């Protein structure tokens, strides 16, 4: 198939990230891994094993803005002179990595405080997020990609599909002829992709409705005729239709669980997260809060839950 899968280590719980080398013209790398000496050394070995060198890479493609995928892009682009392709809407966010990360951290802290996380935990998580930044880097995109257009390589055409949800910039690259796709973290075979709340890509204030967006994206992807999706982590997906059904079913169960918790008594989103995950809701406060807020968005859209303010915090209660 001319595609090499190259797992590269990351400092994150998700484990290795899959980078892919498409052996064609231009010689194309999909995602580059986080910025670390070890990741770069392993990427070098993988690429050498294919008979090429990092210096030969002609095009680097980013699937989304997360640092385990984009951290090494600048380094590889500097060594190789490669073009860098990414979704047009993500160009500013990728170029301004430090300011973008600051803005994401500001959002995370203000959301945590508003939703019931204590100030000391919110600050501790901000410091942690700060320390993870060393694995990221700014990315200068030289080839902005537009939704619906095609990325033309010598032996294949990849359709560019914006599929926000896990991050605002998730992009799927679909090879219609071969019925395959590069999916980034849009879908993962072994775990559900966290619908992490972020800043909107257009720079507007506020937050994304990440789970609502993710559901719309999954519905689009579910319609596509694909036999193989190569993901950012874990094994290839060979039944995306069944996997998406499974993701929707577990989301349905969680919606009912959260509704039940709020039916016991009204509470903050963080208190809901603690009722579900216990101490994990503290150590991973923003991740679990993103999950709960995502589900609350849906419960409120459905008219089943309402939000009210009490002592600067948002309280959720069942109305049906």
Residues that bind Zn ion (CB under 5 A): 68, 185, 232
Question: C-alpha angle with apex 125: 122 to 131, nearest 5 degrees?
Answer: 145
At its nearest, how many Å lie between Zn ion and the CB of residue 53? 25
Cβ closest to Zn ion, residue 24 vs residue 189: 189
Task: State the Cα–Cα distance between residues 14 and 63, nearest whole angstrom.
Answer: 16
At its nearest, how many Å lie between Zn ion and the CB of residue 191? 11
CA separation, residue 182 to residues 35, 86, 212, 240, 305 (Å):
22, 13, 22, 12, 37
- Reported in sequence order, the residue ranges of 163-252 that DSSP labels E, i.e. its strands, are 171-175, 180-184, 228-231
At its nearest, how many Å lie between Zn ion and the CB of residue 14? 6
Cβ closest to Zn ion, residue 240 vs residue 267: 240
Cβ closest to Zn ion, residue 70 vs residue 160: 70
Cβ closest to Zn ion, residue 198 vs residue 268: 198
Cβ closest to Zn ion, residue 71 vs residue 232: 232
CA atoms within 13 A on the CB side of 121: 18
**Cis peptide bond N-terminal to 26, omega within 30:** yes
At its nearest, how many Å lie between Zn ion and the CB of residue 194? 10
Cβ closest to Zn ion, residue 185 vs residue 274: 185
Q: Where are the alpha helices (DSSP H) in the chain?
A: 37-49, 67-70, 73-80, 91-95, 97-114, 119-132, 210-222, 240-264, 269-277, 280-283, 285-301
At its nearest, how many Å lie between Zn ion and the CB of residue 232? 5
Secondary structure tally for the chain: helices H, strands E? 11, 13
**SS3 of 8, please?**
strand
At its nearest, how many Å lie between Zn ion and the CB of residue 65? 10
At its nearest, how many Å lie between Zn ion and the CB of residue 50? 22
Cβ closest to Zn ion, residue 46 vs residue 270: 46
Q: At what angle do helices 285-301 and 269-277 cross, to 10 degrees?
A: 110
């Amino acid at each position: 198939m001319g595609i090499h899968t190259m797992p590269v280590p990351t400092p994150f719980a998700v484990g290795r990230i899959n980078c892919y080398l498409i052996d064609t013209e231009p010689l194309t790398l999909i995602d580059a891994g986080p910025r670390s000496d070890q990741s770069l050394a392993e990427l070098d070995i993988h690429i050498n094993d294919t008979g090429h060198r990092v210096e030969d890479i002609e095009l680097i493609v980013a699937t989304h803005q997360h640092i385990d995928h984009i951290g090494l892009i600048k380094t590889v682009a500097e060594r190789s002179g490669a073009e860098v392709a990414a979704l047009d809407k993500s160009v500013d966010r990728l170029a301004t990595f430090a300011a973008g990360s600051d803005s994401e951290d500001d959002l995370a802290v203000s959301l945590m405080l508003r939703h019931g996380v204590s100030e000391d935990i919110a600050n501790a998580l901000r410091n942690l997020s700060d320390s993870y930044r060393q694995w990221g880097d700014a990315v200068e995109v030289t080839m902005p990609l537009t939704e619906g257009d095609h990325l033309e390589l010598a032996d294949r055409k990849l359709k560019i599909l914006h599929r926000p949800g896990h991050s605002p910039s998730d992009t799927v690259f679909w090879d219609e002829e071969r019925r395959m796709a590069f999916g980034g973290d849009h879908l993962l075979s072994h775990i559900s992709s966290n619908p992490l709340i972020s800043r909107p890509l257009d720079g507007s204030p506020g937050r994304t409705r990440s789970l609502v967006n993710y559901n719309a994206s999954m519905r689009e992807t579910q319609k596509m005729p694909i036999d193989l999706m190569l993901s950012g982590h874990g094994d290839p997906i060979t039944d995306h239709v069944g996997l998406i059904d499974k993701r929707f079913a577990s989301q349905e169960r969680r919606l009912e669980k959260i509704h039940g918790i709020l039916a016991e008594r009204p509470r903050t989103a963080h208190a809901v997260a603690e009722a579900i995950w216990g101490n994990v809701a503290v150590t991973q406060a923003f991740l679990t809060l993103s999950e709960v807020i995502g589900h609350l968005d849906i419960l409120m859209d459905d008219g089943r839950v309402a939000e009210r303010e009490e002592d600067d915090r948002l309280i959720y209660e069942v109305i049906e």
